[in-house]
Amino acid sequence: MIFMSNLKVTKLYIPEVLLIEHEAYSDERGWFMELWSEDNLKYLGINTRFVQANVSKSRYGTLRGLHFQMAPFEQAKFIRCIKGEIFDVAVDIRKESKTFGKYVNAVLSEDNFKSLFIPRGFAHGFLVTSKEDAIVEYFVDNKYSKDSESGIRWDDPQVNVIWPFKPLVINEKDFKLRNLSNIYEN
């Protein structure tokens, strides 16, 4: 665990994925929080330059993922849930990694002030666990490429993610994703 003046960083089972707990400063107006700074990221060994910010809104029980982009458009992601709550998952899809096919997860919510940094080489997805809609923002370090988008099934038995409950909403595109063992085939 790494402590800095305004955040606490935990390396998860797959140490390249970082769980970041932010400190919020509260007063009579509400609260203020620094989400990320280039200096803090560099101190943590993250030399990532974010080039795009995305926001999604999803209702209770929605599963998005598990998504990634193929080379040369891989993306590192910095994720925070700004409304509601999600069960967030990162799956190691780096073929040469000793943790290939393994996953880490974290609960991110508007109340817990946690973010997740996921480097390139991981599939990402989440399940909305709050009864209210979840709004998730994520910063990425590479542009979106429709031709490079890919993913693995949320219920792939090789990965065996233990979700809090069975998803209620999965779009057709995510439902048709392949298993991890097939993602590098044409």
Q: What are the pLDDT digits (tens) for 140-168?
A: 999 999 999 999 999 999 999 999 999 99
Q: How far is CA 146 from CA 42, 150, 157, in A?
A: 30, 9, 27
Which one from 43, 60, 138, 144 is the annotated catalytic residue? Answer: 138
Catalytic residue among 22, 60, 67, 124: 67
Average pLDDT in the 72-87 region?
Answer: 97
CB atoms within 10 A of CB 142: 19
Active site residue 67: yes
User: Considering only CA atoms, which of 104, 145, 146 is closest in space to residue 125?
Assistant: 104
Q: Is 60 a catalytic residue?
A: no
Q: What band does 26 get if pLDDT is binned at 50, 70 and 90? A: confident
User: pTM of this prediction?
Assistant: 0.91
Domain ranges in the chain are 2-182
d(CA 149, CA 24): 35
Residues for the chain: how many in total? 186
Task: Report the relative pairing of strands 134-140 and 52-58 from DSSP bridges.
Answer: antiparallel
The per-residue pLDDT of the chain, averaged, comes to: 91
Q: What is the mean pLDDT of residues 1-20?
A: 80
pLDDT digits (tens, 9 = 90+) for 115-136: 999 999 999 999 999 999 999 9
Amino acid at 160: N
Q: The domain 2-182: what is its CATH number? A: 2.60.120.10
Higher per-residue pLDDT: 7 or 1: 7
